Amino acid sequence: MSEFTPGVCRYCKCTEEMPCMLSSGDTCGWEHGTDRTVCTAPHCISNYWRDKRAKEREFKALTRRHSTGEICELQQKEIRQRKRESRIRCKARREREFKAQKEQAHVSKGEN
């Protein structure tokens, strides 16, 4: 399960509907192999590769310090943490949407 939303750049947050403007005057696309989560803007690509190398270094360091079972447990713990954070973000978004709908209904009711 990816922690990033397909169709939204994880770095600049551009979308297919609102793409970045590149210095060449073209709009960005999606970097191959990133499941449409990194656009082709140069700063986004460089950030992607920087993060990928950092994650690989982190994993290599982890494998030197821990056994396979410990690594599996740490990975499961990280997955649970990301899911928990995702649920918190979703709950906050639903609450904001509900509050906006409630305010809209209140405004609409006041107009009648």
Per-residue tens of pLDDT for the chain, all 112 residues: 457 888 999 999 999 899 999 888 889 999 887 888 999 999 999 999 999 999 898 888 877 777 778 878 888 888 888 888 888 888 888 888 888 888 888 777 766 5
Cα→Cα distances 7→15, 39, 94, 97, Å: 6, 9, 20, 21
The span from the CA of 79 to the CA of 13, in Å, is 23
Q: Which amino acid is at 60?
A: K
Q: Which amino acid is at 32?
A: H
The span from the CA of 65 to the CA of 51, in Å, is 21
The span from the CA of 96 to the CA of 90, in Å, is 10
Q: pTM for the whole thing?
A: 0.53
Q: Please, how many CA atoms are within 13 Å of residue 14, restricted to the half-sphere of its CB?
A: 19
